[in-house]
Amino acid sequence: DPDPRPSLASLDQLARVLYVGSYSKTISPNLRVGYIAAHPALIDDLAQLKMISGLTSSAFSERLILGALTEGRWRKHLKSLRGRLAEAHETCGQRLASLGFELFHEPKAGMFLWARHPRLPDPVALSNRAALHDIMLGPGNLFSATLQPTDWMRFNVAFANDARLAAFLEAELSAT
């Protein structure tokens, strides 16, 4: 969203809600460093739980993240990343709409876009056929707590502009 909304954790002032995040999408997927913002009364227990459960990240990775956050380039990087993502989101939405997909909402920003097509009612079967071409699709039922069948699909906008995906979808549509 170009205008970020307040998180539940900020609305709750961390009284009952934890804020969990990671830098794997914004800095590097190879740096498996995350964070938790919580009420001060919980921090010591959470840190101890992290240590005894073996959920430690590399000190080197943590120092790299700290450097990225404190050197002053983080905000500029994040702004650039948001701009590229918004552009990819818009392009993906336009491409899907041009193929006849119904968008769940008008694209603005974010990593994912939900869409469905009346001639492609089985996203699971479509996803299985796409996998044969090394194309990964996200059938909507995978993102449901109940795993109920749905005709919606989740597209990752960073990869949805791949020409192979467009060619695959066009071939599927012409076969129906």
Residue 3 pLDDT > 60, yes or no? yes
| Residue 160 shares a structural domain with residue 137 | yes
* Rounded CA separation 154/85 (Å): 16
| Residue 129 shares a structural domain with residue 99 | yes
Region at 44 (left for phi over 0; alpha for psi -120 to 50; beta for the rest): alpha
Last residue of a domain, one of 71, 88, 110: 71
What percentage of the chain reaches a pLDDT higher than 70? 97
SS3 97: helix
Q: For residues 15-36, give the mean pLDDT.
A: 86
| Residue 20 shares a structural domain with residue 63 | yes
Residue 32 lies in a domain: yes
| Residue 116 shares a structural domain with residue 85 | yes
Across 37-41, 106-110, 154-158, least confident range: 106-110
